[in-house]
Chains A and B, each alone.
Chain A
Amino acid sequence: MTQQEINIEVLRYNPEKDSEPSYETFQVPFSHETSVLQGLQFIKDQLDGSLTFRWSCRMEICGSCGMMINGVPHLTCSAFLRDYYPGKLRIEPLSHLPIERDLAVDQTDFLQKLESIQPYIIPKETRSLEDGPFKQTPAQRERFYQFSECINCLLCYAACPQYGLDSGFLGPAAMALLHRYNSDSRDAGQAERMPIVNAQEGVWGCTLVGYCSEVCPKGVDPASAVNRNKVSSTLDYFFRFMAPRGASE
């Protein structure tokens, strides 16, 4: 295997010691299949054990290892050093989120937002286990499935300019998951979730940049979830305030 070397510049920040972040460069050997994550692991194993970042599954499904690579949000397990060579890489923590240490960001805000959208089936009918599964045709499943593929990696939050300006904005992933439950044929929770959608910090905060969908590693397309919710929100408003009582049923 041919081994080359590449420079990786990483953001360092230790809240116990540093008043502000700085950058440090490491030289890392790589071969054709070396991921950016493996580059960071090499630094931690061999050069500086204090470099701090999250990782786990290595296969784009756990959502732990999102970072900014040369300014672009990306999962580091599925980005490869070869694609940046002979240039260098600058690795930074995901934008718009508070840094805990080095490349690890605080995920609490997203987790609270996720909880706020009631991300569970609010059933249409009471159904016991003895009644067996709900019927759901492939077409019905198709209506929400894409939005259920969100791995909560937060790349879309790092991409979203609106979230950067106002962290109160519900944001792409939480909106996509809200839409996922609202669109599920087994669910009847839309009315309970609509106040979140309608709020200033809900769907109307989105300024339609669409960068969230571009960076999503799973093709979830949060931007389209937001847009579909704008339609729902408008209809909701119409039926509640403009149309005669009962028209929405």
Chain B
Amino acid sequence: MTKTVALYYSLMGLVLIAVGFFQSWNVAFGILNLCLISAIMALGVNMQWGYAGLFNVGIMGFTALGALAAVLISMAPVQEAWEVAGGDLFLSLLSLAGTVVAILLARRAVPRGLRPYVVVLLLIPGYFLTMHFFGPATERIEAIDPALTGYLGGLGLPVLLAWPVGGLVAAGAGWLIGRISLGLRADYLAIATLGISEIIIAIIKYEEWLSRGVKNVTGIPRPVPYEVDLVEADWFISFASSLGVSDTSEAAGVFVKICYALLFIAVLAIIMWLAERALQSPWGRMMRAIRDNRDAAAAMGKDVKARHLQVFVLGCAVCGVAGAMLATLDGQLTPTSYIPLRYTFLIWVMVILGGSGNNWGAVLGGFVIWFLWIQAEPLGSWVMNVVTAPMPEGSALADHLVAGSVYMRYLLMGAILLLVMRFAPKGLIPEK
């Protein structure tokens, strides 16, 4: 068992090293960094699916919340926005909270049959009161220098702090969503989470006062040095020359990526250690017992719904951390780039390929699938070039096929998922 694990991991390592030698080290470390982030996302999904059998297809939303946290923690605050609209924003928040409290209190006070009516009756004035403050406030914020800011900005804190905070934000959202949708049948849960993730993306996309929306936030501060500074730093130039590297700009790129990789490996190691501890503890056994036979576990006195909520929140938190890390690596938040095929279903392929219920498998799946996702592009264009080679020069069909070769990656991912489900449903590294 451990031998196969070691074999798979060393093979993966060799492949990455080969990329370093044959393509470039910049490419190799670029792939490695995203492999590490993907592995963390896969760990999060594996907690929900592998430990507990929860079919969550809203990963994209939790990842995006993590990315939003990176913006809100690390970007510099826009003072002017707070000055012109801070008061009104606070008042709208107050009215929202007041409405919620009033509804909760009223629900207790009135008899059961009247409850829905009372809720609606309180909701309508509450909504208009909140919007009365909220609408003008956001308009004023978005009017401030829209080409550069036009949003509230963040807190201006170190970006590393955003990683745990991203986890917390995603966990909070996960708790709220889990309260509503867990306890539904499995396919209902899938549909509900799919919808929630789309709504989270819509909010990030259209609430410009919060996240600049489709105007994107760029220049999220880095936790590691910038290439332009490195190239001019004396210690780096002498360091590079001592290694016998002549091209310093290339070396600076690799150095920055290695810094990121070390940070990511540290996070992955911590999460992995915790996940393995949890899986092997009585808690982990209980989760698997619930997954394998819910009724029996309930009969033994296990609170199935509470356990599901717990593991759902934990998985969401891990995805949130990964999302914050991804935004840090990219240095930007681009809401339009969040599409479910890439951020939800691809992660699912990772977990299924790696081995549901096995953390080492999930991590391996994250590595393999991300590698293939990236390398499918050159592979696809190679295949298409071979296919179109016999066609006449300048044929429209040939050009069209070569242009479409990027999408070979979808085909490849689908084929992998279908083949694994059919012939190796336990994945590369099966659950013990």
User: Does chain A bind chain B?
Assistant: no
Q: Which residues of A contact B (CB under 8 A)?
A: none
Chain B interfacial positions (CB closer than 8 Å to A): none
